[in-house]
Amino acid sequence: MENKKDTDTLSKAAGECMVLLKNSGDFPLNGTTEIALYGGGARRTLKGGTGSGDVDVKEFLSVEKAFAEAGFEITTTNWLDSFDRILDKAHQDFVSAIKEKAKERGVPAFIIGMGAVMPQPEYNLPLDGKGDTAIYILSRNSGEGSDRKFMEGDMKLTKSEIRDILALSKKHKKFMLVLNVCGVVDLEPVMEVDDILVMSMLGSVSGYSLVDVILGKCYPSGKLSSTWTKSNDYSQIGDFGNQDDTRYREGIYVGYRYFDSIGKKPLFPFGYGLSYTNFSFEITGISNFGGEITISAIVRNIGKRAGKEVLQLYVSSPEGKMEKPYQELAAFCKTGEIPVNGHENVDLIFDLSEVSSYDEERASFILEPGDYILRIGTDSQETKVCTIARLDEEAITCKTAEIGGTPDFKDWKPSSPAYSGHGEGNRIGDVPILNIDAESLQTSNNVANDSIIETKSHNESDIDDEDLVYLCVGNYSDTQGGTGILGSASTSVAGAAGQTSSKYEKYGITPLIMADGPAGLRLSPKYRKEGDKVRPAGEIIPAAFRDFIDDKTLELLGIKRDDEQEETGPVFEQNCTAIPTGTALAQSWNPEICSFFGDLVGTEMEKYKVHLWLAPAMNIHRSPLCGRNFEYYSEDPLLSGIAASAVIEGVQKHPGCKTVIKHFACNNQETNRFHSNSIVSQRALREIYLRPFEICIKRASPGAVMTSYNLLNGIHTCNRKDLLTDLLRKEWGFDGIVITDWMVTGTGMPGNHKYPYASAAGCIMAGNDLIMPGSRADCESIKKALEGKDPEYKLTKSELKTCVNRIVSLAANISESFNRR
Ligand code: BGC
């Protein structure tokens, strides 16, 4: 954020990501006034979650400071001071308990502490803030390495929070509950509150944006990207958070597909969100062209303020051979700003084949004959039937290969037919029928598309056989100093998560620099130069580790604290912007907003010379408890895929800047993440978990894919040739590189687990081109398999060359674009 204008633009864009859950009409306020600010998020405002999804920024304004800067008089400074002391004490106790536990188990504290977030503590402080208006900013954080819990202080509100929120809503003339949260919280106990806003975590401008929304300088126009309801109502059908094997027994019934199909009404459904104004809409046209259906509508602003609305189109497919969820999102469209009394015409377009179901027996996507009921509305439950698409006979829309393995159970299905209905949304009435001829539908056969994986040729004869191995691991070299077992983070851009081998330089190829996301570009705000290398300066231990990392672990990771370095010199700065989290972006339901923030990241990548952004992250919100949900978009694959594609387009319009979509695939929990086996049916895999990746690859051509830590049906994803070669490359036509998640092969990590770490040689054989950050053990594993000395993995030089080829092609493409700037 270079100036006020930037801040205003960012703040307005971030406003689109906030979701107004309840609205009495008391907000926005007419002007600044005395205000009583309470809650954990007022002073310790969260701009993002913890871990690699956290972006270090130079300056960050809390909600408290943003309100003060805007001219409000904050009447609760004493309360906030006292609450700070309570939080500090609770934090000390929390860290001590983790250290104690680690000691008992004989493991380093960071193994247990990584990503562990302290539940909000109970407290009892007088609610003595003055003024007509009060705001309670509820805070919940989470991050990689740990999952959330259905407990008070986490998913549930604490007794103190409930007591104070209810009391404040009675005491003050105007009261708003603001949720500065990483994901869902159970709002059941405070449903009587009349004004509730999901602020989410909005990056650098979080505080400003909230003030702007409260003052009506901008307005919330987001819709929920996942269902918010009572803790007890979330599906318990599948496993979650198991140590070793996690069975996705619920199959395709994830999120609203589950709630709708069993007729359970959530507190706030998928797609829900109010506005400061009111809208009405009307269908103006319906057409079908070879299965491509267009619904045209006019949206009118019938309220008293300007705003934006999202129209959503859901399809209920006929049940035939396969059971179907009640409905699934098929298209959506957000209007531009509509002034009072204004209107906008919108088109919702989708191809019927996009709602095909995956028939495991035939390894094909099919559309069954019958009536496809199309519902249009402003959330998943406020819909009306607008037409019926009547398909004359079964259509096989896509033949595929069988990939991903098979689970040891049959997917759950609802005991009664899925059409449990939601009032108006279930009344079919007199609607037009679109007769669809199965033969007119677009079909494809993706089974044997071998030509796609032929790699582009390069001067591979120029590369020494000896070097091939090193070129497939991150920046590791046998001669590196220190403990030297691990590849290092980038030495070219401080704070970047990694880079490809410096051996590439020998062949005139620039190593690829990779920096984390998804909440912006994660670099060190401060760094020093040492010859032609750089290293982070100041606080170098990531916040998520700070309380738990000891000197022994630092040594193992080859990390030296800034003040322990032999040479020091001037400190340089890199100022990056934290953007709204993945969930917040999806809540905008606006690809333009997603692309706007992607563009901002691309601009900073150009500035700081980063080639690959380790984002977007697009795992599905399978459970509200996944610790990394805030990085991910939605419980719905279409919304995830469209939001992520727009982010990718925003980044990649910058020449030489590419994205790395992650974590491929089924990385839906953090518990035991290196060794957790996701057991999933092929249908759920295809329709739910792989679909966002497929959408992105086909729409937005990301430069790379990052495989996940977990296993999929018994094999690590980075070791699954069916996933990486048969599906990703042959079926979907992906032509970039595949890289591992960091340390998936486990170098130096303690472990006694049911499932071992992934194999480095297995990665290369599967088509996972690059092992990050790379280690001596990785090189040895590859060499052993190459020499035929590994009983399990027999690697050929041609397989190794194929991986190197792909990295070289991407690097050539990137540096060509960089040079053309
Ligand atoms: C995370 C990735 C991240 C990588 C590099 C891993 O722990 O799972 O999402 O990109 O670290 O920082």
Q: What is the pLDDT of residues 612-659, one digit of tens each?
A: 999 999 999 999 999 999 999 999 999 999 999 999 999 999 999 999
Longest CA–CA separation in the chain, Å: 80
What is each CA distance from 597 to 1, 12, 619, 692, 738, in whole angstroms? 12, 12, 19, 19, 24
CA 489 to chain centre: 23
pLDDT of 130 strictly over 60: yes
Tokens read off for 58: 């130079």
Tokens read off for 388: 């019926």
For residue 692, what pLDDT is reported?
98
Cis check for the bond before 518: say yes or no (omega within 30 of 0): yes
Distance 524 CA to ligand 1 centre (A): 16
Of residues 419 and 325, more confidently modeled: 325
Residue count of the chain: 821
Which long-range contacts does 564-569 make (Cβ < 8 Å, 24+ apart)? 565/528, 565/535, 567/530, 568/528, 569/528, 569/529, 569/530
Distance 515 CA to ligand 1 centre (A): 10
Q: Report residue 552's pLDDT band, with 50, 70 and 90 as the boundaries.
A: confident
Per cent of the chain over pLDDT 90 is: 80
Would you say 465 and 798 are in contact if contact means Cβ atoms under 8 Å apart?
Answer: no
pTM above 0.75? yes
CA angle centred on 320, ends 317 and 321, rounded to 5°: 125
Non-local (6+) Cβ contacts of 692 within 8 A are: 618, 620, 633, 637, 640, 641, 644
- Interstrand relation of 383-391 and 433-436 (parallel, antiparallel or unpaired): parallel
Return the ligand 1 atom nearest residue 615 CA: 10
- Interstrand relation of 364-367 and 370-377 (parallel, antiparallel or unpaired): unpaired
Q: Report residue 3's pLDDT band, with 50, 70 and 90 as the boundaries.
A: low
Would you say 581 and 53 are in contact if contact means Cβ atoms under 8 Å apart?
Answer: yes
Distance 469 CA to ligand 1 centre (A): 23
- Could you tell me the sign of the dihedral formed by the alpha carbons of 30, 35, 38, 42, in that order? positive
Q: Report residue 59's pLDDT band, with 50, 70 and 90 as the boundaries.
A: confident
Tokens read off for 476: 């590791």
Alpha helices in 716-796 (DSSP H): 721, 760-766, 776-786
What is each CA distance from 780 to 59, 149, 657, 707, in whole angstroms? 44, 40, 32, 21
Question: What one-letter code names the amino acid at 586?
Answer: A
Q: Residue 179: what are its φ and ψ, rounded to 5°?
A: -110, 100
Cis check for the bond before 773: say yes or no (omega within 30 of 0): yes
**Euclidean distance between CA atoms 67 and 70, whole angstroms:** 5
- Interstrand relation of 133-140 and 174-181 (parallel, antiparallel or unpaired): parallel
Distance 741 CA to ligand 1 centre (A): 6
Q: Report the pLDDT averaged over residues 17-42.
A: 97
Of residues 661 and 487, more confidently modeled: 661
Q: Give me the chain's average pLDDT, please.
A: 92
Return the ligand 1 atom nearest residue 517 CA: 10
For residue 422, what pLDDT is reported?
46
Q: DSSP letter at 326?
A: S
Any atom of ligand 1 within 6 Å of the Cβ of 662: yes
For residue 484, what pLDDT is reported?
57
Per cent of the chain over pLDDT 70 is: 93
Q: Where are the beta strands (DSSP E) in 206-319?
A: 245-247, 279-289, 292-301, 310-316
| Number of C-beta neighbours around residue 562 at 10 A | 17
Tokens read off for 764: 């290369």
**Euclidean distance between CA atoms 453 and 444, whole angstroms:** 18
**Euclidean distance between CA atoms 351 and 644, whole angstroms:** 20
Q: Whose CA is nearest to atom 4 of ligand 1?
A: 742
595-616 per-position pLDDT tens digit: 999 999 999 999 999 999 999 9
For residue 452, what pLDDT is reported?
46
Which of 562-576, 619-633, 692-706, 799-813 is the least confident region? 562-576
For residue 530, what pLDDT is reported?
85
For residue 551, what pLDDT is reported?
75
For residue 450, what pLDDT is reported?
57
| Number of C-beta neighbours around residue 680 at 10 A | 29
Q: Whose CA is nearest to atom 11 of ligand 1?
A: 742
Any atom of ligand 1 within 6 Å of the Cβ of 742: yes
274-283 per-position pLDDT tens digit: 999 999 999 9
Q: Residue 682: what are its φ and ψ, rounded to 5°?
A: -65, -35
Q: Where are the beta strands (DSSP E) in 512-588?
A: 513-516, 526-530, 533-536, 572-573
**Euclidean distance between CA atoms 682 and 690, whole angstroms:** 10
**Euclidean distance between CA atoms 729 and 737, whole angstroms:** 10
Any atom of ligand 1 within 6 Å of the Cβ of 628: no
pLDDT of 485 strictly over 70: no
**Euclidean distance between CA atoms 147 and 526, whole angstroms:** 31
Of residues 247 and 53, more confidently modeled: 247
Q: Report the pLDDT averaged over residues 573-582.
A: 96
Q: Where are the beta strands (DSSP E) in 42-173?
A: 73-74, 133-140
Tokens read off for 481: 């100093």
Return the ligand 1 atom nearest residue 673 CA: 8
**Euclidean distance between CA atoms 520 and 576, whole angstroms:** 7
Of residues 375 and 820, more confidently modeled: 375
pLDDT of 793 strictly over 80: yes
For residue 1, what pLDDT is reported?
55
Any atom of ligand 1 within 6 Å of the Cβ of 544: no
Q: Report the pLDDT averaged over residues 44-72.
A: 93
355-408 per-position pLDDT tens digit: 999 999 999 999 999 999 999 999 999 999 999 999 999 999 999 999 999 999
CA 710 to chain centre: 16
Question: How many Cα atoms within 13 Å fall on the side-chain side of residue 290?
Answer: 5
Helix orientation angle between 691-700 and 637-652, rounded to the nearest 10 degrees? 30
Q: In sequence order, what DSSP letters do the residues of 17-77 get, joined into one string?
A: T-EEEE--S--S-SS--EEEEESHHHHS--SS-BGGG----S----HHHHHHHHT-EES-H
pLDDT of 456 strictly over 60: no
pLDDT of 531 strictly over 90: no
Q: Report residue 289's pLDDT band, with 50, 70 and 90 as the boundaries.
A: very high
pLDDT of 555 strictly over 90: no
Any atom of ligand 1 within 6 Å of the Cβ of 54: no
Any atom of ligand 1 within 6 Å of the Cβ of 615: no
Q: Locate tokens 């509200």: which residue?
A: 624
- What are 176's strand-pairing partners? 135
Return the ligand 1 atom nearest residue 709 CA: 8
Q: Locate tokens 């309220």: which residue?
A: 303
Q: Whose CA is nearest to atom 6 of ligand 1?
A: 742
- Give which of 245, 730, 194, 256 is closest to 455, Cα–Cα: 730
**Euclidean distance between CA atoms 400 and 423, whole angstroms:** 38
Question: What one-letter code names the amino acid at 162?
Answer: I
**Euclidean distance between CA atoms 714 and 404, whole angstroms:** 9
For residue 558, what pLDDT is reported?
66
**Euclidean distance between CA atoms 505 and 337, whole angstroms:** 50
Of residues 548 and 457, more confidently modeled: 548
